[in-house]
Amino acid sequence: MTQIIQITQIVWFIPLIPFIGFIITFLIFKKFSNAVSKISTIFSGICVLLSLYSVYLVYTKGSFSTEIVWYITGKYYISMGFVADGLSTMMLVVVSIVSFLVHLYSIGYMHKDSRFGLFFVYLQLFSASMLGLVLANNYLQMYIFWELVGLCSYLLIGFWYEKKSASDAAKKAFLTTRVGDVGMMIGILLLFLNTGTLGFTKIFELVEKGFISGSVITASSILLFCGAIGKSAQFPLHVWLPDAMEGPTPVSALIHAATMVAAGVYLVGRSFPLFFASPYAMTVVAVIGVFTAIFAASIAIVQTDIKKILAYSTISQLGYMIFALGLGAYVAGLFHLMTHAFFKALLFLGSGSVIHATGTQEITEMGGLAKKMKTTTWTFITGALSLSGFPLLAGFWSKDEILGFAFDNGRYIFFAIGAFTAFLTAFYMFRLVFVVFGGSLSQKSEHAHESPKTMTIPLIILAIFAIIAGYIGAPFIKGNIAFGEFIKNGIHIKHTEFNFMPMVISVLLALMGILLSYLMYQKKTIPKDWLYKYVKPYYTTLKNKYYIDEFYSKVIIRPGIKFANLINWFDKNIIDGFINIIGKATVIISKGIHLFDLGVIDGFVNWTANETYNSGKRLRKLQTGNVSAYAIIMFAVCAVYIIYLIIRFKF
Amino acid sequence: MNFNILSILTFLPILGMVIIAVVPNKFERSAKWIALLNSLVLLGLSIYLWTIFDKTNALMQFEEKFRWVPGVNIYYHLGIDGVSLPMVFLTCLLTVLGILVSWNIDHKPKVFFALMLLLTTGMLGVFVALDFILFYIFWELVLLPMYFLIAIWGSSNRMYAAIKFFLYTLFGSVLMLVGILLIFFNSGLKTFDILELANSNSLNLAVNLQNWIFFLLFMGFAIKVPMFPFHTWLPDAHTEAPTAGSVLLAGILLKMGSYGFIRISIPILPDAAKSWSPAIAILAVIGIIYGALASLIQKDLKRLVAFSSVSHMGFVMLGISMLTPTAINGAVLQMFNHGCITGMLFLLVGMIYDRTHTRLIEDMGGLANKLPLWAGILAFTSFASLGLPGLSGFWGEFLVLFGTFNKGSTFAKVMVYISILGIVLGAAYLLWMLQRVIFGNANEKLHDLKKFSWLEFITLAPLIAIIILVGVYPAPILNIINNSVNYILNM
């Protein structure tokens, strides 16, 4: 018993530490911005240690959870608690490591910013909320932290709020994700209505025992998935993520690449027993995921903003994870979540280093940076290789596991689209690499120099992760089985045997992608504007991101505003106008007729209307003193009226 | 209880009013100190009341009952339970804050603060009265001071707004009085006592008559809430009223309406409540969406907040219409939270108006850099208002939706599906407002803005604390509400 209490306390502390950090830094950030940056970095460092310890605890002692009743309403108990198992502690480690490195990096990256301290305050709040989300043991609690990370995302996207584009992007991010959250909330309500509980364990138990009807399972899974679509920027709610790149680059790395956007994947992973019980829901998940994967990758190949390319890449990779889960590849999907967090954070931080040095985000204005920034270059290339699925790097293992699963289970269409996406991924990543780092120095690259140590050290650490993180789940050392066993938390999963065929195909496609971009952008033996030349309409469609934003603007936002204007007009002229019309009409009627003769209610209405009508005209001119006389008359009339009523009832 | 704490609480402001009245005009500046002292004592009493309130007891507490007009069975009957206690506390708190935010009023300060205190007595009276006639007197008593507050200290179109407010609500309350009298003459009990009427199973009313009475009471309460389509007095009154008036109007007066449903309509006419429930739910849901859409395009900051009240009170009424404990818990909690949050929004708007002398959103911008603390608190309050979890606004909305959905009927589910869109719209109009008011570059028209003062911060601080505390851990207040709501529904 004492043992359990000890463990409990440690897991509690993981989100609590950055929360305390948030309160401390919030109180002093105005005066001591430097101290704030250091305090918060230390706090997130402690989180890393505790998270690693929690993994050790779960690994040696098994998973554990606690909950307490938060309040009672009617006959229902609303509880809060946490669950520490393989899945949540794996997430804790990922979140806390990336968060710590981003804190460290930001000390260098943000030091000239006028709101340097505030930045760390927000980062602390985000870390606390994200860690809380991961540890939640029920849907309501998850939703609470889910919204809080959304708040932090809003604050950090709009961090440079003087720019209209930044405040627009922040607003768009919050609203778009909230559309998904509405679905999620209905899903939660539906689950509660049918199970009487919000806790994960109890719901999954009931699902397994077959106490819940299939249609409820399907409906609630799909509704919960709406939340994931919003948060993980899946089609059709992906539009906010590219715009979210308005935020400072460390934020893009932490929130919009590694952690918060993966929360949707985590939600599906956490709810896997529920989703798995409905083949229909699983299909929806898989289709949305695979479509998003190829859809976003195709946009990425024509973008020229370094962060936008990475943003579309993130959307595409999240689609990979989602479709893996939808196919039933639980372990592979979450494995990819983990490896992706490291190499995508690396790529974003690397791009931040490049932006820091050149002062631009347009890749066409960069070039030849390999000569100026050694560490940034080789770490970035490591990340790009890892993302492309280059053999033996982290991304290779996880992506291969997903594609292998699709292949083994005969889902050849998914395999084909996934493999083709891998080709596109390698292509756009190395297009980026060759344009930015290769070639001759551009004007803006002339004065570039390597970033300070606080920025390069996180890059090096993440590069190491981008190489080795895959070995946790690598099949040849039976890592896939060990990792799967660790995170499965009671789910019956199928371990796939290592399959040579799909691996060879996907590696070859990736290499072809790299080769093609090499020929186009480094050697320049293939003209780089062939797409523009030969299929111009498609090129423009890609450039305009398939016109999704324009579609929303035309079909939802503008009509919405028009409708709101109509409502306002209706309110002023019809509803409020109605009262005036009554007033005008009754003036005519009441002229010849004595008030009391009309009968009780009519008389009062007439009198009221009459006064309303006249007061509008006359009373504006009156002095306040006269108006008080008016009110007294009204009260007197009212009193007379009450007396009349009582008499009428023959009392 | 020999102490008569409720009578003291209710009539103490009258004492303050009398003292202010006898102060010679040349010392009129002391009026605000008297009013502040008076309201602080009230706040202290209400906190004391909260501490000695028996949290496990769902029944009326601190009851006082005296025969008042023997011939007609009118009693002086006071008492509070878990539904009225939070409202009593909120009334006392917002009165203090309303007086603080009016600190620099120099036009007839004596009259202003005297009226504020009279208003307080009226509001407190409504929440503690347990006799119909007494309830009605307090209900009408509220009208008069509010009328003058708007008419004398309001902005440009104040006369129109004041008269409209007065007549519209008077119209409703007279219908309510007819309803009360119909109950008295037809119930067979010949009593005005709310508890007796609620407890008696022998209420000898024909179903048809019950429905009519419910309708009459509904008119009185729905206009006050205000429910769509009886809401048009509200944007005018809110916009024209002085800051303190808007705060109390939004914070307390609107709640008198929804309180009436819970205290009177539902327990006394439970069958009629059931048959009226769908109609009320539909109007409530229309109000949620309608109010939010109207807020979206308002150009005047104060009018935007006013329309947002229509939307938020829609959630309250949706909860009430469901007649289940959880939904009504949510409604009562939402009443309390809306009082805090919208009260705070009006305080904030008043503070910025003192500096910019404009309420037009397009004239603002970049205030995050000009007045960082004010802007931060506005953002905080907006997020509370849009129902961000962790802040109090979330729990009220959640419980209403939760309670409604748990009814399980298709109708209730559809109500949830529609009203939940209000949550997205709520985020839309608030975030858009924030973007135009605090973000961007500072508007050139805004210069030499007075610094945010300590007095202003102190005015806002208690509400910030409450919003966070209730948002994180609602149990202390919700348990009190839950007990009494369960009891009321089982009567």
Give the separation between CA A594 and CA A598, rounded to whole angstroms.
Answer: 7
What per-residue confidence (pLDDT) applies to A362? 87
What per-residue confidence (pLDDT) applies to A288? 95
Task: Give the residue among B115, B123, B113 at the shortest CA–CA distance from B93.
Answer: B123
| pLDDT tens for each residue of B113-165 | 999 999 999 999 999 999 998 999 999 999 889 999 998 898 888 888 888 88
| pLDDT tens for each residue of B4-51 | 889 999 999 999 999 998 888 888 888 899 999 999 999 999 999 999
Looking up tokens 């008077």, which residue turns up? B170
- DSSP characters for B111-127? HHHHHHHHHHHHHHHHH
What per-residue confidence (pLDDT) applies to B202? 58
Q: Six-digit token pair at B480?
A: 């009190």
Average pLDDT, integer, range B77-99: 94
Number of folded domains that form chain B: 1
A148 part of contact set with chain B, CB < 8 Å:
yes
Give the separation between CA A179 and CA A157, rounded to whole angstroms.
Answer: 18
Q: Which span out of A36-50, A365-379, A606-620 was modeled with the highest average pLDDT?
A: A36-50
What φ, ψ does residue B3 adopt, rounded to 5°?
-75, -25
**Cis peptide, bond prior to residue A236, ω within 30 of zero:** yes
CB contact under 8 A, B440 and A162: yes
What per-residue confidence (pLDDT) applies to A649? 46
Say if CB A595 and CB A644 are below 8 A apart.
Answer: no
* Nearest by CB: A143 against B152, B325, B389: B389
Could you tell me how many helices (H) and strands (E) chain A has, helices first? 28, 2
* Nearest by CB: B431 against A145, A171, A635: A171
| pLDDT tens for each residue of A468-485 | 888 887 777 666 777 877
End-to-end CA distance of chain A: 74
| Burial of residue B353 (number of CB atoms within 10 Å: 0-12, 13-18, 19+) | middle
Say if CB A255 and CB A152 are below 8 A apart.
Answer: yes
Say if CB B380 and CB B465 are below 8 A apart.
Answer: no
Average pLDDT, integer, range B188-211: 80
Q: Which residue of A has its CA nearest to B290?
A: A567
Q: What is the mean pLDDT of chain B?
A: 90
pLDDT above 80 for A432 = yes
pTM: 0.91
**Cross-strand partners of A71:** A78
Sign of the torsion angle spanned by Cα atoms A50, A56, A60, A65:
positive
pLDDT above 60 for A625 = no
What per-residue confidence (pLDDT) applies to A634? 54
* DSSP type of residue B204: -
Give the separation between CA B348 and CA B467, rounded to whole angstroms.
Answer: 15
Give the separation between CA A302 and CA A536, rounded to whole angstroms.
Answer: 12
Confidence at B411, pLDDT banded by 50, 70, 90: very high
* DSSP type of residue A451: P
Give the separation between CA B289 and CA B386, rounded to whole angstroms.
Answer: 13
| pLDDT tens for each residue of B461-484 | 999 999 999 999 999 999 999 999
Q: How far is B455 from chain A (nearest CA, A)?
A: 19
Average pLDDT, integer, range A363-367: 85
- DSSP characters for A345-401? HHHHHHHHHHHHHHS--BGGG---GGGT-HHHHHHHHHHHHHHHT-TTSHHHHHHHH
What per-residue confidence (pLDDT) applies to A4? 53
Say if CB A339 and CB A346 are below 8 A apart.
Answer: no
What size, in residues, is chain A?
Answer: 651
How open is the CA angle B286-B290-B293, to the nearest 5 degrees? 150
Q: How far is B261 from chain A (nearest CA, A)?
A: 19
What per-residue confidence (pLDDT) applies to B345? 95
pLDDT above 70 for A639 = no
CB contact under 8 A, B329 and A645: no
Q: Which residues of A touch B482 (CB under 8 A)?
A: 71-74
Q: Which residue of A has its CA nearest to B396?
A: A73
Q: Is B301 helix (H, G, I), strand (E, B) or coil?
A: helix
pLDDT above 70 for A645 = no
Q: Six-digit token pair at B407?
A: 């009814």
Specify the long-range contacts of residues B275-278, CB closer than 8 Å, at least 24 apart: B275/B211, B276/B211, B276/B214, B276/B215, B276/B218, B276/B321, B277/B321, B277/B322, B277/B323, B278/B321, B278/B411
Tell me, what amino acid is at B330? Answer: G
Which of A396-405, B200-209, B263-272 bottoms out in mean pLDDT, i.e. has the lowest?
B200-209
Say if CB B306 and CB B245 are below 8 A apart.
Answer: no
Task: Give the residue among B333, B372, B353, B381 at the shortest CA–CA distance from B477.
Answer: B333
Instruction: Please name the helix (run of DSSP H) or strand (run of DSSP E) that holds residue A70, with its range, or none.
Output: strand A64-73
Average pLDDT, integer, range A252-267: 93
ipTM of the complex: 0.93
Looking up tokens 């230390």, which residue turns up? A42
Q: Which residue of A has its CA nearest to B333?
A: A73
Q: Is A632 helix (H, G, I), strand (E, B) or coil?
A: helix
A564 part of contact set with chain B, CB < 8 Å:
yes
| pLDDT tens for each residue of A532-552 | 777 778 888 888 888 888 889
Exposure string of A154-184, with b = 16+ CB inside 10 Å and e = fewer, is bbbbbbbbeeeebbbbbbbbbbbbbbbbbbb
CB neighbour list of residue B295: distance below 8 Å, 6 or more residues apart:
B304, B305, B307, B308, B311, B425, B429
pLDDT above 70 for B71 = yes
What per-residue confidence (pLDDT) applies to A64? 83
Q: Six-digit token pair at A241?
A: 């993520």
| pLDDT tens for each residue of B320-346 | 999 999 999 999 999 999 999 999 999
Q: Which residue of A has its CA nearest to B157?
A: A620
Q: What is the mean pLDDT of chain A?
A: 85
CA within 13 Å, CB half, A214: 5
CB neighbour list of residue A510: distance below 8 Å, 6 or more residues apart:
A388, A389, A390, A422, A423, A425, A426
Looking up tokens 């309803």, which residue turns up? B179
H helices of B252-300, in order, are 254-260, 266-268, 270-296
Q: What percentage of chain A has pLDDT greater than the value 70?
A: 86
Task: Give the residue among A589, A592, A618 at the shortest CA–CA distance from A606.
Answer: A589
Cβ atoms within 10 A of the Cβ of A519, count? 14
Confidence at B68, pLDDT banded by 50, 70, 90: confident
Size of interface A-B (CB pairs under 8 A): 180
What per-residue confidence (pLDDT) applies to A313? 94
The whole domain housing B365 covers 5-489
- DSSP characters for A186-226? HHHHHHHHHHS--BHHHHHHHHHTT-S-HHHHHHHHHHHHH
What per-residue confidence (pLDDT) applies to A594? 43
Q: Which residue of B has its CA nearest to A192?
A: B406
Looking up tokens 């430097």, which residue turns up? A34
A619 part of contact set with chain B, CB < 8 Å:
yes
What per-residue confidence (pLDDT) applies to A148? 95
Task: Give the residue among A507, A487, A499, A479 at the shortest CA–CA distance from A59.
Answer: A487
What per-residue confidence (pLDDT) applies to B356? 86
Q: Is A407 helix (H, G, I), strand (E, B) or coil?
A: helix
Give the separation between CA A105 and CA A376, rounded to whole angstroms.
Answer: 13
Q: Which residues of B touch A622 (CB under 8 A)?
A: 159
What per-residue confidence (pLDDT) applies to A611? 59
Q: Which residues of A touch B474 (CB under 8 A)?
A: 71
* DSSP type of residue B77: E
What per-residue confidence (pLDDT) applies to A651? 36
pLDDT above 80 for A293 = yes
Q: Which residues of B touch A26 (CB under 8 A)?
A: none
| pLDDT tens for each residue of A557-608 | 899 899 999 998 998 888 888 877 765 665 566 554 444 444 544 555 555 6
Could you give the C-alpha distances from A112 to A25, A107, A238, A488, B367, in angstroms and in order? 18, 9, 32, 45, 22
Say if CB A394 and CB A341 are below 8 A apart.
Answer: no
B-contacting residues in A 65-104 (Cβ below 8 Å) = 70-76
| pLDDT tens for each residue of B282-298 | 999 999 999 999 999 99
pLDDT above 50 for A635 = yes
